[in-house]
Amino acid sequence: MVDGIGGIPPGTNQISGRIPSGSRSMNSSMGSPDDFSAAAWAPVGTFLSAMRGAQFACAYELFQRSMRQFGPPSYHLDTVCQEGKHVPVTMTVVAETPFCRLLRFSAGDGRGVRRMLCAPLAGHRAVVVRDTIESMLPDADVYVTDWIDARDVPPEAGQFGLADCVLLLEQFMTMLDPAHLDVVAICQATVPSLAAVSRLASGDAPEVRALALIGGPLDARLHPTRLGDIAAMMPLPVFLAHCTGAVPHGYRGAGRIVYPGFLQLPTLASGQPERLSAMVLAALQGPWPGSRAQADLRHAAVAGYVAMMDMPVEFVLDTMRIVFREHLLPRGSWSVGEMPVDPAAMRATRLLTVEGQLDAITGAGQTHAAQTLCLGLDQRLCTQVTVPGCDHYGLFSGPVWRSRVYPMLQSWLNAPERLPR
């Protein structure tokens, strides 16, 4: 544990897992019955009906066993290159709740810079952002939201909705001292991260120094993708009946209702089907002489991609309703903990939005929409970048990330503030 972060006295940086919830209960998250005809989803329902009851448990365990062949998910970050030298990397847990651990990755002195990397709670474990962490380490200490697999969260820990996620991120940011903190949010995490930063700006707390939003559905009305359409149109009774189930016995979260990882993996893969096949084919190639390290990295990439986790069903329902159906954030109608989420309250935070030209998971314009929501920011504080030839995963991993996206992000993060605070 790291003591005394941001003025927090040693020994007091454990955040309670009982966060005041601003989200609806599971039943009220469903809202009113959908007008979209359930008959249109009859083939889906027929296919997924095998996932009920005991058959759900069998499919669940089969998937878990298949994932064990890759071993426990690992960040594989032992050293990082810093000024031409290999520097050891240390990883510590600085805060922990039943649903998330805040991990600190540090190499050397970290330049005295703190950067919070908000990994998405979207089915992948946080190891999927390993490349992001490795790239950022030479310049800063990196704090990562390491989400806990819902199968490992006892039911008595309560529910965890989207509002709970916002409040948790806000507490993490407050603990790390917002005025000296850069926040980088990826994919689904852009929505609760922007909400958390907005709540800080609306209250008495300092604003975060910089906020980078990368490939996220801040306004899912713009150029909706296949995944967005599914989230927006699948009748909720179909989703609840055929896409959710109770964690089987043998896990700490036994009895918790979840959206399981074995359904989310093919859903995400369908957004970019060529990516998983290319990764697997590359990993199956035998290492050429002297290329063992590259082969290990290819295997680690596949393991990170398929390291799926169960999500609390109330979190998924909230995301479907708030982000993809009612579009509460861009409509200015979202409140968390009885406080309106008002991005226009931000005055001093530097803002960057990044999209990939070939992103098939988050539609064009959905991330850049933050630029119009943060109306209180001087335009000199705002930057938007669309990366040519970049798909969704290239925004935070792989060769495109390392050669094109991160150099741009690094330059922006390390640039001096353009306006005095």
> What is the DSSP code string of 187-242?
GGGHHHHHHHHHHHHHSSSPPPSEEEEES--TTTTSS--HHHHHHHHS-HHHHHHH
pLDDT in tens, 202-238: 998 899 999 999 999 999 999 999 889 999 999 999 8
Rg (CA), the chain: 21
> Is pLDDT above 60 for 16?
no
- Give the domains, in start order, of the chain with CATH numbers: 36-414 (3.40.50.1820)
**How many angstroms separate the CA atoms of 177 and 172, rounded?**
9
| Stated pTM of the model | 0.82
Mean pLDDT of 42-48: 46
Band the pLDDT of 17: cuts 50, 70, 90: very low
* Res 331 pLDDT > 90: yes
Listed range (204-218, 270-284, 372-386) with the worst mean pLDDT = 270-284
DSSP 357: T
- pLDDT in the model for residue 280: 52
Exposure letters 256-269 (e unless 16+ CB within 10 A, then b): bbbbbbbbbbebbe
Tens of pLDDT, residues 63-87? 777 776 666 677 889 888 887 888 9
Percent pLDDT > 90 in the chain is: 60
- Could you give the angle at the alpha carbon of 392 between the alpha carbons of 365 and 413, nearest 5°? 75
Smallest Cα–Cα separation from 412: which of 131, 183, 196, 205?
183
CA distance 402 to 380: 27
* Average per-residue pLDDT for the chain: 83
Give the pLDDT confidence score for residue 304 in this predicted structure.
55
Residue 6 has pLDDT above 90, yes or no: no
Q: Give all strands (DSSP E) within 15-156, no chain letters.
A: 79-82, 85-96, 100-107, 114-118, 141-147
Strand-strand pairing, 210-214 and 85-96: unpaired
As a whole number, mean pLDDT of residues 401-410 equals 97
Between CA 227 and CA 270 the distance in angstroms is 8
Find, among 180, 150, 155, 181, the residue nearest to 165 by Cα. Answer: 150
| pLDDT higher than threshold 80 for residue 10 | no
* CB-count exposure of residue 360 (10 Å: 0-12, 13-18, 19+): middle
